[in-house]
Amino acid sequence: MKELSSEVMGPAPGKVNRCWLCPRTLEGENVTGEHVIPSAIGGHKEVFKFICRTCNSTRGTSWEAEVARQFLWFSSAAGVKRGRGGTHPDLKVQTASGEKLRLQSDTVLVLDEPEVKVNDLGDKLEITIRTNNPKTALNLINKVARDHPGFDVQKAVREMSTQDSYLDSPLALSFRYGGPDAGRSMVKSCLALLSETGAKPKDCARALRYLEDPSPDAPPPFWLFFDADVVADRPQDHLYHCVSVVGQPKHRRILGYVEFFNFARILVRIGEDYEGEAFQATYAVDPVDGRELAITIDFDRVPPNLDDIKMPKEPPQMYFDAFQTTGNIVNANNRDRVRAHAVSKAATDALRAIGLDPAAEDVPAELKDQWQNEFLNRLKPYIWSQLRRPPE
């Protein structure tokens, strides 16, 4: 079997490259880079002889947006590095106790809406505001002043103290992947990688029919695949995505395998009646740091007769095991990021508390004890949150 490199080669003299999804030629401004794995979930590899700019924007954008939406929790919580930069959008979540929160791209969980409570003690007002935005806090203080004539805003601001809080109730999350748009994006990932192998669109008719049919009821050419584990050297301690394609003339077929975040797996019937040369190409990446990985996909573990594969009515145990592994990795990544954020914020706030610029490289010797006390006081909420966390 021929193993193919990921090097992008230019067209042969006199050869015209055409878009795989329409008759347009790939030349001039119509040439565009297409990520094999969507950049929003950490894909970095691009191909340039696959689809035109028009198809990329009119079809690919909506398909990949659905992939980004379905996997947003994993991308945000693990700190996935987007292929084209930028930040992940906020994700609305809810705790098991019903509290509504938003997960920001910096791993900070904030209230979906700020809260203010006013306790009238007769001779004074006790105000509790829950928000992560100082400007919002000041606006709410001014609102209290409007509702309570005589309230001294300046005095309240001077005497105001702040405290960070950390989640003490588990998040209630539900998850599913696939469907018409995300499914088409995952199939397109296979074809994008195939465009570098020398395979022809005519050899990929089954997959292309699916991409060209806009109907939500179009029969998908793929299965959620947990009949066997085709990843021969599966990583257990870090996240990865992979796309692999194989030409199997002995079975007269071209297959694709896509796996996102170690657990979302599909097997794609790309083409039938294939009589060309045997080949295989694989692209795998760690979405957190962007490293390209060496992953071995063993298509010999796929049944010779694809009609023997049945879409499971209920998720099989292999799915639950894989999902648990991914959850453990994401939670470990998230804890590391939360810890780094807590320590950095406590250090910065402590510098401000003793009158130093947060950009200061060194704390003067005479202020070090004061800074250390301020730092530890500001870190206490995080420390207590870790002490209250149940053992794994």
Q: Three-state SS string across the chain, please?
A: CEECCCCCCCCCCCCCCECCCCCCECCHHHECCEECCCHHHCCCCEECCCCEHHHHHHHHHHHHHHHHHHCHHHHHHHCCCCCCCCCCCCEEEEECCCCEEEECCCCCEEECCCEEEEEECCCCEEEEEECCCHHHHHHHHHHHHHHCCCCCHHHHHHHCCCCCCCCCCCECCCCCCCHHHHHHHHHHHHHHHHCCCCCCHHHHHHHHHHHHCCCCCCCCCEEECCCCCCECCCCCCCCCEEEEEEEECCCCEEEEEEEECCCEEEEEEEEECCCCCCEEEEEEECCCCCCEECCCECHHHCCCCHHHCCCCCCCCHHHHHHHHHHHHHHHHHHHHHHHHHHHHHHHHHHHHHCCCCCCCCCCCHHHHHHHHHHHHHHHHHHHHHHHHCCCC
Ranges 42-46, 147-151, 269-273: which has the least confidence: 147-151
Q: How confident is the model at residue 75 (pLDDT cuts 50, 70, 90)?
A: very high
Percent of the chain scored above 70 by pLDDT?
A: 94
Stretch 113-129: mean pLDDT: 85
Q: What angle is formed at CA 311 by the lines to CA 307 and CA 317, rounded to 5 degrees?
A: 125
pLDDT at 246 over 90: yes
Displacement of CA 97 from its chain's centroid (Å): 25
> Cβ(119)–Cβ(102) under 8 Å?
no
Q: How confident is the model at residue 5 (pLDDT cuts 50, 70, 90)?
A: very low
More confident residue, 168 or 52: 52
Stretch 301-324: mean pLDDT: 88
Query: CB under 8 Å to 269, separation ≥6 — which residues?
Result: 206, 207, 221, 222, 253, 255, 306
pLDDT at 391 over 70: no
Q: What are the structure tokens assigned to 311, written together?
A: 């879409």
Nearest by Cα to 319 from 381, 264, 266: 264
pLDDT at 167 over 80: no
Quote the pTM value.
0.84
- The Cα–Cα gap between 315 and 172 comes to 19
Ranges 66-75, 315-324, 383-392: which has the least confidence: 383-392
Q: How confident is the model at residue 390 (pLDDT cuts 50, 70, 90)?
A: low
